[in-house]
Amino acid sequence: MEERIVTNQEHTLDQKLQDDLIRPKFLKDFQGQQELKDNLKIFITASKDREQTLDHVFISGPPGLGKTTLASIIANEMDAEIKMTSAPALEKPKDLAGILTTIKEGSIFFIDEIHRLRPVLEEMLYIAMEDFEIDWVIGQGPAARTIRVPIPQFTMIGATTKAGKVAAPLYTRFGITSRIGFYQEEELQHIISRSARIIGASISDEAVVTLSRCSRGTPRIANRLLRRLRDYAEVLGDGIITPAIVTDGLERLGIDHHGLDALDIRILETIIDFYHGGPVGAETLAISVGEAIESLEDFYEPYLIQKGYLKRTPRGRMVTEKAYELLHRSNKEPHEDQRLLF
């Protein structure tokens, strides 16, 4: 039993080390997003030349595209310490104050899911970002008073999948705004090839191309699938990930050659079968497919919309003609009085 526990711990540690190795450390290693990288390089170089703290950075984009990685890269490029947290983990003003009063001069402070920050913490962060001070209440009752406590100058990096939900007063305090978009297949091919070299996986050039088409434009998914395909190659093949291994492996994982999984298909089928192709509201659709609305909006919808299978309208979600073709369905529009509106 003891040997088994040790083996599991070593495996977990090895997996973490691989994840750390795969994660790029500098802008030159970060694949894709060339315009974003070029701009950041200029801003970082200018700040270092002036020996000033980098302006606050706002990063938005779908999950798995490298927002957290980019924050770490900025810290490395600035030769700065970085402290990371997420908005849900910050519950009270003292949580935020504890971090802001202990960071070093020129440090990076990264908050993920910043759109979920509590209003009382947003107000504290406004002053911290603008004046490098925090308001703190001392005493209680009639004797209570507010004092301003100076804090070291720092760079705030906020990341979110929902830029529209970030309060305007907070958003306007970021001097640098960047959006990470889905990756092109060629960019994913470079990422897959690099990751395969790092984790010691053998993969053919044709398999790299095939896998890049099924990774939903997302590096995190590409790397996750690469690991699973390495397992299939080692157990079912000769250790080399070939196009046949990719096809067989993805089929076993329930992923088609478009990168769509079972829930993607269920979303499209539900809209067609139960709502005559739409429109249907996001909450109703989420309940119908048994998925959280956050997952639906942040993970599934963006890719389905990007690939042209789904569209958003003022009245709700609707499938496109391309979705009917994918599912081999006939698109026969119902009469208006037969249409269900949500």
Which residues are tagged catalytic? 67-68, 112, 161, 220
Compute how many other C-beta atoms are within 10 angstroms of the C-beta atom of residue 34: 10
Cα 131 to Cα 306: distance, rounded to the nearest angstrom: 41
Cα-based distances in Å from 41 to 52, 106, 187: 15, 17, 19
Q: Cα–chain-centroid distance for residue 47? A: 27
For 302, residues 6+ apart whose C-beta sits below 8 A from its C-beta are 62, 182
Strands 57-60 vs 176-179: parallel, antiparallel or unpaired: parallel
Cα 271 to Cα 339: distance, rounded to the nearest angstrom: 12
Task: State residue 308 phi and psi, 5-degree precision.
Answer: 85, 20
Two tokens, residue 41: 């390089």
For 203, residues 6+ apart whose C-beta sits below 8 A from its C-beta are 192, 193, 196, 211, 226, 229, 240, 241
**What DSSP assignment string belongs to 121-163?**
HHHHHHHHHHHSEEEEEES-GGG-EEEEEE----EEEEEES-G
Q: Cα–chain-centroid distance for residue 217? A: 12
